Amino acid sequence: MIFETRIARLLFPSVIVKTPAEGIHLTFDDGPHPSATPAVLEILKKRNIHATFFLLGRNVEQYPDIARQVVSEGHQIGNHSYLHANLFFKSTSFVRQQINQAGETIEKNLGTKAGYFRPPYGYLNFQILKILKEKELKCVLWNIDSKDYCSNKQEIDNRIPDQISNGSILLFHDNHHTASKVHTYLPDILDKLLEKKYIFKRL
Ligand SMILES: [Zn+2]
């Protein structure tokens, strides 16, 4: 969703699409998922890489142990709403409810507060940003989209540029689209980035 990301950067300067960090940021959306998330965690652990997971409240409710494993293995967590509805055309009360319910579910089950929010599908408007500001949540998109949910290994590889600049935020998913194939692309992509001496940082 590079087009939306560019528009968002112009329209919404408070939204984070890159950071000033000396390192790159891996992000995984839509978990926890019963098989995709453990697979991703194992791949990351083997390489001593830490990432940020944008969790769905509904999935945290359903798989609290997997969500706790994400936290206990040193990863950062963010709020990705409760149900993964496109919030763009929804009422203020619905948007607020989705953000609050996910935040409360995360806090209740993980004993930690999410400081970052990523809107489902990356769709944003001023109403959503206003609510995030009230809730003191920082809005995070990405600048490199792997499109891992709809692509094969070669296509995903091609979307990760050879030269990534420091502060880049890479978008991946741990969901039902990636569960059966994450092992086919993620280890390889990470090994190539490690070879190039990139440092991985949580947001
Ligand atoms: Zn998502």
pLDDT at res. 9: 72
**Tens digit of each residue's pLDDT (9 = 90 or more) over 1-38:** 445 666 767 778 889 999 999 999 999 999 999 999 99
User: What is the reported pLDDT for 1?
Assistant: 44
Q: How far is the CA of 85 from the centre of ligand 1 (A)?
A: 9
Per the residue annotation, which of 25, 80, 173, 174 is the catalytic one?
173
Expressed in angstroms and rounded, the spacing between residue 172 Cα and the centre of ligand 1 is 9
User: Does the annotation count 191 as an active-site position?
Assistant: no
Ligand 1 center–CA 174 separation, angstroms: 9
Predicted TM-score (pTM) of the model is 0.95
The alpha carbon of 175 and the centre of ligand 1 are apart by a number of angstroms equal to 9
**Per-residue confidence band for 196, with pLDDT thresholds at 50, 70 and 90:** very high
pLDDT at 47 over 90: yes
Among residues 29, 145, 148, 174, the one annotated as catalytic is 29
Active-site residue, 29 included: yes
Choose among 197, 170, 134: nearest CA to 51.
170
Q: Is the pLDDT of residue 113 over 80?
A: yes
Q: Alpha-carbon distance 130 to 133, whole Å? A: 5
Q: Locate 86 and state its tokens.
A: 């496109």
Whole-angstrom distance between the N-terminal and C-terminal Cα of the chain? Answer: 20
What is the enclosing helix (H) or strand (E) of 171?
strand 169-173
The per-residue pLDDT for 13 is 84
CA distance 119 to 85: 9
The Cα–Cα gap between 80 and 89 comes to 17
Catalogue all structural domains in the chain, each as residue range(s) with its CATH number: 2-11+24-195 (3.20.20.370)
pLDDT digits (tens, 9 = 90+) for 139-185: 999 999 999 999 899 999 888 988 899 999 999 999 999 999 999 99
